[in-house]
Amino acid sequence: MSAKTGALGARQQRLTSYLDRLAETSGHADRAVPLKLYCTGLLLPGERKSVEPMAARLAPDNVRRMHQSLHHVVAEGGWSDEALLGCTRNYTLAAMTKSGPVVAWIVDDTGLPKKGTHSVGVARQYCGQTGKQDNCQIAVSLSVATCNASLPMAYRLYLPEAWANDAERRQQAGIPKEVLFQTKLEIALGQIRQALADGVPQGTVLGDPAYSNDTGFRQAVAGLQLSYVLGAQSSTTVWPPGIEPLSAPPYSGRGRPANRLRRDADHAPVSAKQLALNLPAKAWKTVMWREGSRHPLRSRFAAVRIRAAHRDHKLRQPRELEWLLIEWPRGESEPTKYWMSNLAESIRFRALVGLAKQRWIIERDYQELKQELGLGHFEGRGWRGFHHHATLSIAAYGFLVAERCRFSPSARSGHLGLSAPQLPPGFLPRGSHPSGKT
């Protein structure tokens, strides 16, 4: 037996063991086999990872029966997404943390373009995949990350108010009664609280400006005794170093004593951009935060201690000091990125930059989940099917992440050496490429 054959056999054994562990969370023996087959179908080569083409790859001699089995387990099976994601997380984290500890929890939302209007949660809203307002579904996720790998550990559909308040559409999509309208930030906070309750190794919470712009989100994260580095907009108002809002005026002896902070025309906060443009040249330092695929990644940064100013004139005490981190690459006419962080004042400058940049590790996750594992390929319209398909896509991806961390950095969906029967002659599933590739 060659070394390659032995390696493939060992990988197949690990996959079989992993799928058995996942199946144990399904809650019913009848679900075990189709659940394992569904995950296997996601890992096999193929352009489309919806039920029909996967059924054809898995059972070319009996596509109809396999289709029914796969469709039932994903669209109607009463198994727990949370339990299966927890099993995936535990398995994958064991491999991820062999080379280093958890450093971050990353909140994000991802858009899945849709042409129709009946799929659960679909609405015209900003879609990151297309970069514009588009017809899409949006899911909020929380990922756990080491310095070298990451994995979504929670995934929940954002339900627009128009859907949440429409009884007929709720019934048609099978939306549970307990699911009410929540903002994306509220969903993300719920995921963070659940991760704490589950005992997941803690990391600094990272996110884009959509999460930092809400002062309440930052305060809630800090209230959970978690650190954060969250992207901010250039228009964010702050009190520059050494400057604070004015205290309440002395009591005049008439009426109620004033107790709120003040500002006036001569004493007011500034925007993050204005502060950045006024920093001296010596405040900017070139930092290399990690090695890229072709060359080291570096840029110019400045970090200053500030107090957030948003609506603090309604407060009695100034907000806590925190970091404002600013990136201004050479050759750019103005700073390009901003972050706010409650990390300790003593943190090393390079470590602060590294955490700010760590958020982009999940871009690879979603690229592969969508392109290789069919995250957005589910063709059903219901709440349960949407989440079951996503959960199994993440479960399949978890195996790939673990394989990369343990043995093979190049492990990819469709390149695991898994055997698959030939497709039936002339088979062309719905949604496939016109050339006939699936």
Asked whether residue 426 is assigned to any structural domain, the reply reads no
* In a shared domain, residues 164 and 176: yes
* In a shared domain, residues 196 and 217: no
The structure tokens listed for 73 are 């387990």
* In a shared domain, residues 219 and 105: no
Judging by beta carbons within 10 Å of its beta carbon (0-12, 13-18, 19+), is residue 25 exposed, middle or buried?
buried
Number of domains in the chain: 2
Give the C-alpha separation, 161 to 122, whole Å.
11
Q: Of the ranges 80-89, 105-114, 316-325, which one carries the lowest mean pLDDT score?
A: 316-325
Q: Are 126 and 133 in contact (CB under 8 A)?
A: yes
pTM of the model: 0.90
Categorize the per-residue pLDDT at 212 as very low, low, confident or very high, splitting at 50, 70 and 90: confident
| Sequence-separated (6 or more) residues with CB below 8 Å from residue 225 | none
Q: DSSP label at 385?
A: H
- Is the model's pLDDT at 437 over the cut of 70? no
Q: DSSP label at 117?
A: S
Give the C-alpha separation, 203 to 186, whole Å.
19
Give me the DSSP letters along 107-172: EEEEEEE-SSS-STT-EEEEETTTTEEEEEEEEEEEEEE-SS-EEEEEEEE---HHHHT-HHHHHH
Mean pLDDT of 56-80: 93
pLDDT tens track for 29-59: 899 999 999 999 999 988 889 999 999 999 9
Which residues constitute the domain of residue 354?
209-245+260-358
Q: DSSP label at 436?
A: S
* In a shared domain, residues 64 and 116: yes
Which residue type occupies 348? Answer: R
* In a shared domain, residues 90 and 149: yes
| Sequence-separated (6 or more) residues with CB below 8 Å from residue 424 | 56, 60, 61, 63
Asked whether residue 180 is assigned to any structural domain, the reply reads yes
